Amino acid sequence: MSNEVISIETKNPRKEGLALMLDDGTRKSHSVAQNSAFVTGFFKGLSSRDSYAKLLGSLYFVYLAMEEAFDATTDSMVKKMDCHELRRIEALSEDMEYFYGKEWKSKVVPSAATQKYVNRVKEVAQKYPKFLIAHQYTRYLGDLFGGQMMGSMANKSLDLSNGKGTAFYMFESIKDTKYFITNWYSQLNELDLTDEEKENIVDEANLVFDFNIEILDEIEGSPW
* pLDDT of 124 over the 70 cut: yes
The whole-number pLDDT of residue 4 equals 42
Instruction: State the pLDDT at residue 43.
Output: 58
For residue 193, count other CB atoms closer than 10 A to its CB.
Answer: 18
The 8-class DSSP code of residue 42 comes to H
The confidence score (pLDDT) of residue 199 equals 97
Q: What is the pLDDT of residues 64-120, one digit of tens each?
A: 999 999 999 999 999 999 999 999 999 999 999 999 999 999 999 999 999 999 999
More confident residue, 11 or 180: 180
Average pLDDT over residues 37-42: 62
Q: How confident is the model at residue 221 (pLDDT cuts 50, 70, 90)?
A: low
pLDDT of residue 53: 92
The separation between the first and the last C-alpha atoms of the chain, rounded to the nearest angstrom, is 62
pLDDT band, residue 40 (cuts 50/70/90): low
- Rounded distance between C-alpha atoms, residue 50 and residue 70, angstroms: 30
Spatial distance between the Cα atoms of 54 and 61, rounded to a whole number of angstroms? 11
Q: Enumerate the H helices of 44-88 as residue ranges.
A: 49-72, 76-81
How far apart are the C-alpha atoms of 214 and 73, rounded to whole Å?
A: 27
- Residue 89 vs residues 52, 99, 122: alpha-carbon distances, Å: 17, 15, 17
The confidence band for 158, taking pLDDT boundaries of 50, 70 and 90, is confident
Q: Across the chain, what does the average pLDDT equal?
A: 88
Would you say the pTM of this structure is higher than 0.85?
Answer: yes
Q: Where are the beta strands (DSSP E) in 5-62?
A: none
